[in-house]
Every structure is written in structure tokens, then in C-alpha cells.
Amino acid sequence: MKLVGLFLVLAVLMIIPAVDLAFAQGAEPGEYLDRRVIIWNLFYRLMTVAFTVGAVVSGTMIWQCWRFRESHPQAKPTPYEGTDW
């Protein structure tokens, strides 16, 4: 449930600025938006989010591999593994 909430917050943080820029108008007539700048800004924001999520996922995988390795002093087989130490 927490993961759904996190993705919902991330989606809202990305959708609201995109919709705002899609319907944006200049305050004065003749004032134009430079769409290249806006698109690159959105790209860099999304890449920052993607690298952050990737770093968290990679860190979690590394921690799990390190914590549950066979040579860990506290690692013991579960009853379902069929070995008795």
C-alpha cells in the first residue's frame, strides 16, 4: 500500500507540471514559450527520478545479497530446506 502511495505522489509531481506547461500561455500577447527548454527540463527531472529509483533498487538488492549470503554467520537453513544443522 505504501508503494502505491509513493508512485501516486511521484505521478502527481510529474503530471501537474506537464499539464500546466501543456496549457501554458504567456501573460502578454506575443510572449512565447521555448518548448525545447521545457522538454529538456522535464527530461532531466524524470531522469533524476529514474536514477534515484534505480539507486534505491540496486542498493536494496546488494543489501539482500550481502545479508542472506551462505557465509553469513547467522544464516541458518529454514525447516523447509530439509537440512538439519
Q: State pLDDT tens for residues 53-70.
A: 999 999 999 998 888 787
DSSP state, residue 32: -
Q: In this predicted structure, what is the pLDDT of residue 81? A: 66
Distance CA 76, CA 68 (A): 9
pTM over 0.75: no
Distance CA 63, CA 69 (A): 10
Q: In this predicted structure, what is the pLDDT of residue 60? A: 94
Q: Which residues of the chain are modeled with pLDDT < 50? A: none
Q: Which residues contact 68 (CB under 8 A, 6 or more apart)?
A: 75
Q: How far is CA 14 from the centre of its chain?
A: 12
